[in-house]
Amino acid sequence: MYDKVCEKCGTRLSSYYQTGMLGCPECYNAFRMEILSTLKDIQRSTEHTGKKLSNGLDKELLDEYKRLLKEKELAIMEGRFSDLREISANLFDLTEELKRRGLI
Ligand SMILES: [Zn+2]
């Protein structure tokens, strides 16, 4: 598979897909289109999950997840790298939790 590399820090696009984390602000420029299209895919899939949420906490977590996805998209477009690191870290933790619960 074709793998893009950030010329500044050497982070690979494939490692971003695995961890959700990037190395430097330049990464967001290098992978911008891929990251944005991935976010759109995830957003779409959460809209049409069709899963019955068993309790209020599930719904809360999923809503928070969607909110963070939108926030991340916005931060990328506006180039707010310091915010992005925090949002990505939160999003990664939340993704793990949602997977454990079988929500995504
Ligand atoms: Zn980089």
Letter string b/e over residues 67-88, b meaning 16 or more CB atoms within 10 A of that residue's CB = ebbebbbebbeeebeeebeebb
The rounded Cα 78 to chain-centroid distance in angstroms is 16
List for the chain the helix, strand, coil content (%; round to 5): 70, 0, 30
Residue 1 has pLDDT above 70, yes or no: no
Q: In the block, which residue shows the tokens 């992978």?
A: 31
Give residue 11 CA to ligand 1 midpoint distance, Å.
Answer: 5
Q: Provide the mean pLDDT of the chain.
A: 88
pTM assigned to the model = 0.80
Residue 17 has pLDDT above 90, yes or no: no
Alpha-carbon distance 104 to 33, whole Å?
23
* Residue 69: HSE in the Cβ half-sphere, 13 Å Cα cutoff: 21
Interval 51-101: pLDDT, tens: 667 788 998 999 999 999 999 999 988 989 889 889 989 999 999 999 999
Q: What is the mean pLDDT of residues 6-24?
A: 91
Give residue 31 CA to ligand 1 midpoint distance, Å.
Answer: 9
Q: What is the pLDDT of residue 49?
A: 62
Q: What is the pLDDT of residue 48?
A: 67
Give residue 69 CA to ligand 1 midpoint distance, Å.
Answer: 21
